[in-house]
């Protein structure tokens, strides 16, 4: 039986990953300090004898007494509303947290996977974004604490791979949605759904013509597992390449919820990306992975959760 440590394991994506790997027969050690994660997300896993929950801030040194085969570093605030409120903790999760987990993986001779983000591309000047694109990031802007934390994480993981020969993976996660997202997450999916369910005005930033792509969480988890089991050491994009404007997305949410909400327009936040769409050619070719859920199908499941 293989053992995996998942930092941020009580978060939205982390909790689905814990569940998935338990079902695959792994022993799962979940570490979270519940700053943005929620213990309720893994409550149903506590009675499983292969699941261990640790309350731990990964920016501090971590010790695991038993062998660890895989270290998956997912601990970090990921929503602008969160990381702009706690920028220093966000930077620590991406720097000290990455350093601590890499050190543990090196000591345990574990395979290591970093949860990076499409935000390393910033407000991109090319679309769709390929892994070879270096990005357009403002290091001192309101999103810099998250963007640069993840860019530093990628650089540190790469250095450990090159210098210490650590077996590493980097996944660049694009917009993902599904059950267990937080109601007050601040991102577009929970915002639109909860506003629509209450027939409150749906808040659209800018002119609503900026685009996003949306990957259902189970598709993402499948891709992460395939990357984890692969031999790919370079960054890999995982996301859904189908692009929607915010206006199109709002109309779909209204239709699926039967909402009478009207749209209200507010100023576009500073450095908010105008486009966000993954080029997943690498994942298709090297992992035989591509998302299967259509947006409408995944949204219905997500709406049911928020109801």
Residue pair 56/31 in contact by the 8 Å Cβ criterion: yes
R_g over Cα of the chain: 19
Residue pair 118/175 in contact by the 8 Å Cβ criterion: yes
- Vertex 39, ends 34 and 43: CA angle to 5°? 165
Quickly tell me which residue has 């507010």 as its tokens: 266
- Of the candidates 101, 22, 34, 24, the residue with the CA atom closest to the CA atom of residue 68: 101
Give CA–CA dist 176/185, Å, rounded: 12
- Exposed, middle or buried, 184 (CB in 10 Å: 0-12/13-18/19+)? exposed
Angle subtended by helix axes 217-228 and 12-23, to nearest 10: 60
Active site members: 146
Give CA–CA dist 113/171, Å, rounded: 7
Q: What are the backbone angles phi and psi of residue 177, rounded to the nearest 5°?
A: -145, 165
Give counts: helices (H), strands (E), the chain. Answer: 10, 13
| DSSP-assigned beta bridge partners for residue 284 | none
Cis peptide before 213 (omega within 30 of 0): no
Residue pair 165/223 in contact by the 8 Å Cβ criterion: no
Residue pair 10/34 in contact by the 8 Å Cβ criterion: yes
């Amino acid at each position: 039986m293989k053992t995996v440590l998942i930092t941020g394991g009580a978060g939205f994506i982390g909790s689905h990953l814990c569940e998935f790997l338990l079902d695959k027969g792994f022993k799962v050690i979940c570490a979270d300090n519940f700053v943005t994660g929620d213990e309720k997300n893994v409550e149903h896993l506590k009675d499983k004898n292969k699941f261990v929950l640790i309350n731990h801030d990964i920016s501090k040194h971590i010790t695991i007494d038993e062998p660890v085969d895989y270290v998956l570093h997912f601990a970090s605030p990921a929503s602008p509303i969160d990381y702009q409120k706690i920028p220093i903790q966000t930077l620590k999760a991406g720097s000290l947290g990455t350093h601590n987990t890499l050190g543990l993986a090196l000591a345990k001779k574990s395979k290591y996977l970093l949860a990076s983000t499409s935000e390393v591309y910033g407000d991109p000047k090319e679309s769709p974004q390929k892994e070879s694109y270096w990005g357009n990031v403002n290091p001192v802007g309101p999103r810099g604490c998250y963007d640069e934390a993840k860019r530093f994480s990628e650089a540190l993981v790469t250095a450990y791979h090159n210098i210490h020969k650590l077996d590493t993976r980097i996944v660049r996660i694009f917009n993902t949605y599904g059950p267990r997202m937080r109601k007050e997450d601040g991102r577009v999916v929970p915002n639109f759904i909860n506003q629509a369910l209450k027939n409150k005005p749906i808040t659209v930033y800018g002119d609503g013509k900026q685009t996003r792509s949306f990957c259902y969480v189970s598709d993402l988890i499948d891709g992460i597992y395939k990357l984890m089991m692969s031999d790919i050491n370079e960054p890999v994009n995982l996301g859904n390449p189908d692009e929607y404007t915010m206006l199109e997305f709002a109309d779909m949410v209204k239709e699926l919820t039967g909402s009478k909400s009207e749209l209200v327009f507010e100023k576009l936040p500073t450095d908010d990306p105008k486009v966000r769409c993954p080029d997943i050619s690498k994942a298709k070719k090297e992992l035989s992975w591509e998302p299967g859920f259509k947006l409408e199908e995944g949204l219905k499941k997500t709406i049911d959760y928020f109801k």
